[in-house]
């Protein structure tokens, strides 16, 4: 049985990865706005959950306060944003 000599870059196999240049396209303004809205929505939904878990873990044992639910945690987050709003837009 005779071995066939082929150049390394011409070998076709499931084990070799074809080399393609990495093409990174820039986002359109609409895509960038959509991404910002999606990230802000996810943050707005999950931040009260984190506050609720931290509150229910620390406050009842430390100060004897009652545990809170999601809606009360959401109210605390909204109230703190009103009181301590940070403008990041310049």
Which pTM was predicted? Answer: 0.62
Quick check: is 72 in a domain?
yes
In a domain, 39, yes or no: no
Structure confidence by residue, pLDDT tens digits, 13-63: 666 666 777 778 888 989 999 999 999 999 999 999 999 999 999 999 999
Q: Is residue 73 part of a domain?
A: yes
Quick check: 56 and 68 in contact, CB under 8 A? Answer: yes
Q: What's the domain count of the chain?
A: 1
> Within a domain: residue 34?
no
Q: What is the pLDDT of residues 71-90, one digit of tens each?
A: 999 999 999 989 998 766 54
Residue 7 lies in a domain: no
Q: Which domain holds residue 60?
A: 47-83
- Please check whether residue 57 lies inside any domain of the structure: yes
The Cα–Cα gap between 42 and 38 comes to: 6
Which 3 state secondary structure label does DSSP give 69?
A: coil
In-domain check, residue 51: yes
């Amino acid at each position: 049985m005779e071995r066939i000599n082929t150049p390394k870059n011409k070998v076709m196999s499931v084990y070799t990865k074809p080399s393609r240049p990495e093409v990174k396209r820039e986002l359109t303004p609409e895509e960038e706005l959509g991404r910002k809205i999606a990230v802000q929505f996810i943050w707005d939904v999950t931040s009260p959950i984190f506050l609720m878990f931290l509150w229910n873990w620390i406050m009842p044992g430390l100060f004897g306060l009652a545990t809170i639910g999601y809606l009360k945690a959401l109210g605390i987050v909204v109230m703190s944003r009103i009181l301590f709003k940070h403008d990041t837009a310049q």
